Amino acid sequence: TVDNVLDLEKVAVLGHGHGGTVYKVRHKHSANVYALKVLRFDEGEMKIQQEAAVREAEILKRVDSSFIVKCYGVFDNEVLDTDNGGDLCFVMEYMESGSLLDILNICHTLPEKVISVVGRRVLEGLHYLHGMQIVHRDIKPSNLLINSKGEIKIADFGVSIVAKTNEEHEWCVGTCAYMSPERFDSERWNGGDCDGFAGDIWSVGVVLLECFVGRYPLIDPGQKLDWATLMCNICFAEKMVLPDKASPEFRNFVWRCLEKDWRARGTVEELLDHPFVTTCCSASVEGLLGNASETSTQKSEPSLAKWPD
């Protein structure tokens, strides 16, 4: 265990996000390696950021599942590095193979066999979270992490919420590109007309489809990537036609996730029973990791994280 964050020494930077920086760190005494997420609070938005960080910490402390990246400790007001003093940090399980986004940067597309394993694991994770009334709200490739055993796990509870509490939350947070139609509709969301769980299922559909077609699937290659086009496509576009090579099981699975009406969308229980994910043979994406070479061309997620004013 890690009792003191000062016993950790930085080895590398693993990622930057909106909230702060994630480092690969080594424990000086045990030589164990962890990931350390350091959240920083800026002057102007201090209060909102602190509230979000506390919510993330509360959720991380509650969850304990092999489908979720483990958190070994939350440290408050500790200073790991005086240049960028962290205000809150999380010591987490180190996921050696990075994120699904990293994998897609290298492999571009994944075979259905691998996609079904990814789908199964993410659904198991969501089943656990939803059972605890936690809505993740930011399921996307960069928040799905993979360890050296090829196990994929859900990470980043930066915008997650606990459902059915009276707390008010912003409805349009997360990454717009992976957001469900109902989340663009503030009236419906604020009116309590949806519980938010179905939004996570939508995101799973987008992610798996992206793995299959090798690009963000809800914008056509020729279309301009702006928020209006994106919102129109998400909310109103006809059911996407999948390439012929897609199996009927995959096709049906994706359609059950991408049902525009959240009431009609597949639930996590229904989808865990779907033939696309019940027939997958192994619990890891190992084979895929072998293929991943260093010759990646960088692609990033559609960057429309911020709702326009």
Query: Active-site residue numbers?
Result: 138
Measure the CA–CA gap between 265 and 182, rounded to whole angstroms: 12
Q: Is 52 in the site for ligand ADP (CB under 6 A)?
A: no
Q: What minimum distance in Å lies between the beta carbon of 146 and Mg ion?
A: 14
Q: Is 22 in the site for ligand ADP (CB under 6 A)?
A: yes
Q: What minimum distance in Å lies between the beta carbon of 18 and ligand ADP?
A: 5
Q: Which is nearer to Mg ion, 16 or 29 (CB)?
A: 16
Give which of ligand ADP, Mg ion, none residue 15 binds (C-beta under 5 to 8 Å, depending on kind). ligand ADP
Give which of ligand ADP, Mg ion, none residue 302 binds (C-beta under 5 to 8 Å, depending on kind). none
Q: Is 17 in the site for ligand ADP (CB under 6 A)?
A: yes
Out of 156, 182, 200, 210, the residue judged to bind Mg ion by CB under 5 A: 156
83-102 mask for ligand ADP (x: CB under 6 A)?
---------xxxx--xx---
209-248 mask for Mg ion (x: CB under 5 A)?
----------------------------------------
Give which of ligand ADP, Mg ion, none residue 218 binds (C-beta under 5 to 8 Å, depending on kind). none
140 labelled ligand-binding: no
The CB-nearest residue to ligand ADP is 17
Cβ neighbours, 10 Å, residue 202:
24
**If you compute the radius of gyration of the chain from its CA atoms, what whole number of angstroms results?**
19
CB 56 within 8 A of CB 143: no
Q: How many residues bind Mg ion (CB under 5 A)?
A: 3
Amino acid at 225: L
Measure the CA–CA gap between 210 and 39, rounded to whole angstroms: 29
Q: What minimum distance in Å lies between the beta carbon of 19 and ligand ADP?
A: 5
Q: Is 153 in the site for ligand ADP (CB under 6 A)?
A: no
Q: Which is nearer to ligand ADP, 96 or 249 (CB)?
A: 96
Q: Is 59 in the site for ligand ADP (CB under 6 A)?
A: no
**How buried is residue 237: exposed, middle or buried, by Cβ count under 10 Å (0-12/13-18/19+)?**
middle
Measure the CA–CA gap between 193 and 171, rounded to whole angstroms: 12
Q: Is 99 in the site for Mg ion (CB under 5 A)?
A: no
Binding residues (CB under 5 A) for Mg ion: these are 17, 143, 156
Binding residues (CB under 6 A) for ligand ADP: these are 14-15, 17-19, 22, 35, 37, 69, 92-95, 98-99, 142-143, 145, 155-156, 158
